[in-house]
């Protein structure tokens, strides 16, 4: 696609507002439209950035060149498939879908017409800024903690598909092996689903990853420890403490890089570059996002069994 791309956002919630701002600020793009079943919400978000609000999906799709799906996760698949069937490249917020069947439908629909589709696992941008994808060793162990206070957002999915899925995707991106088994336990508190979860995943190459996620914590906490044959890396993403004994030239000042400062912006920019034919792939492909979803659903099954 050439010229200024007309961006459209499905969903006028908090994340829809973030993505509307991205299209308004990205070079070579503009916000053209926002779709939401509530007309006042659609117009409120669109109007902030010079776009138009829509409650008719077909009319919305006629008004845009590219689409971001930022609706509640349980509606990601229907928005993505409608956009793909209209011939529009799509950026889907994480998770790609809430079932493997829907994820497979999205992948197949995009492949049929060779349309670009990306998924919003923006933490990959932060790992790129650190240099973790350049380490010439396979990790032996990963320990990830991601805690946040109670929120009314994303309660249509469990904490696994809301928060933990970020770290599940990162583990899959770092490890060349395949998940073999998942064990876990959790707590159901206020959403009707899992609001706190702990899991251990074992891979076929011996890699072991542990995950802890909560959306009922008293305070935010986000840490990660990676163990390699040559040493360890420990990061506190909130305090920016960084301990690296691996000997590899990882960037302790990653938080000051453009990508880490605005991972969403970098992820959307990569999507638009791919749409224009300027990049071979987005930051996260739909196949990779489906793999993270598959592991997330396996963790949910482990929680039920536990």
Report the topology of domain 123-252+292-305.
Dihydrodipicolinate Reductase; domain 2 (3.30.360)
pLDDT of residue 2: 67
Three-state secondary structure call for residue 85:
helix
Residue 69's pLDDT is what?
98
Tell me which of 1-5, 219-223, 252-256 is least confident.
1-5
In the chain, where the domains are located: 5-121+265-284, 123-252+292-305
Per-residue pLDDT tens for 259-280?
999 999 999 999 999 999 999 9
Mean pLDDT of 82-97: 97
Please give the pLDDT value at position 155. Answer: 75
- The stretch 233-260 carries a mean pLDDT of 96
Average pLDDT, the chain: 95
pLDDT at 20: 97
Burial of 238 (0-12, 13-18, 19+ CB in 10 A): exposed
Q: CB of 67 within 8 A of CB of 83?
A: yes
Phi, psi of 182 (to 5 degrees): -135, 135
pLDDT above 80 (res 154): no
Superfamily of structural domain 5-121+265-284: NAD(P)-binding Rossmann-like Domain (3.40.50.720)
Q: Which of 148, 99, 146, 100 is nearest to 123 (CA)?
A: 146
Lowest mean pLDDT among 1-5, 22-26, 68-72, 159-163: 1-5
What band does 174 get if pLDDT is binned at 50, 70 and 90? very high
Residue 212's pLDDT is 98
């Amino acid at each position: 696609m050439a010229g200024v791309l007309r961006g459209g956002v499905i969903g006028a919630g908090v994340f829809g507002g973030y993505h509307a701002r991205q299209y308004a600020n990205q070079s070579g793009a503009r916000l053209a439209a926002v779709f939401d079943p509530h007309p006042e919400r659609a117009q409120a978000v669109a109007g902030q950035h010079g776009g138009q609000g829509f409650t008719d999906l077909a009319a919305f799709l006629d008004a845009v060149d590219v689409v971001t799906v930022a609706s509640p996760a349980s509606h990601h698949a229907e928005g993505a498939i409608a956009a793909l069937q209209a011939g529009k490249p799509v950026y889907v917020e994480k998770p790609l879908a809430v079932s493997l069947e829907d994820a497979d439908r999205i992948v197949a629909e995009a492949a049929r017409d060779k349309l670009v589709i990306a998924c919003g696992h923006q933490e990959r941008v932060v790992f790129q800024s650190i240099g973790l994808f350049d380490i010439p060793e396979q990790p032996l162990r990963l320990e990830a903690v991601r805690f946040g206070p109670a929120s009314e957002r994303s309660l249509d999915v469990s904490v696994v598909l809301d928060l933990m899925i970020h770290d599940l995707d990162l583990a899959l991106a770092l490890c060349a092996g395949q998940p073999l088994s998942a064990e876990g336990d959790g707590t159901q508190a206020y959403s009707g689903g899992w609001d706190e979860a702990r899991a251990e995943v074992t891979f076929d190459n011996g890699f072991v990853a542990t995950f802890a996620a909560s959306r009922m914590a008293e305070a935010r906490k986000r840490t990660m420890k990676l163990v390699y044959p040559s040493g360890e890396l420990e990061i506190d993403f909130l305090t920016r403490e960084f301990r690296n004994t691996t000997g590899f030239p990882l960037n302790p000042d990653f938080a000051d890089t453009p990508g880490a400062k605005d991972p969403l912006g970098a992820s959307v920019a990569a999507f638009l570059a791919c749409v224009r034919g300027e990049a071979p792939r987005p930051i996260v492909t739909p196949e990779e996002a489906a793999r993270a979803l598959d592991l997330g659903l396996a963790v949910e099954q482990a929680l039920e069994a536990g």
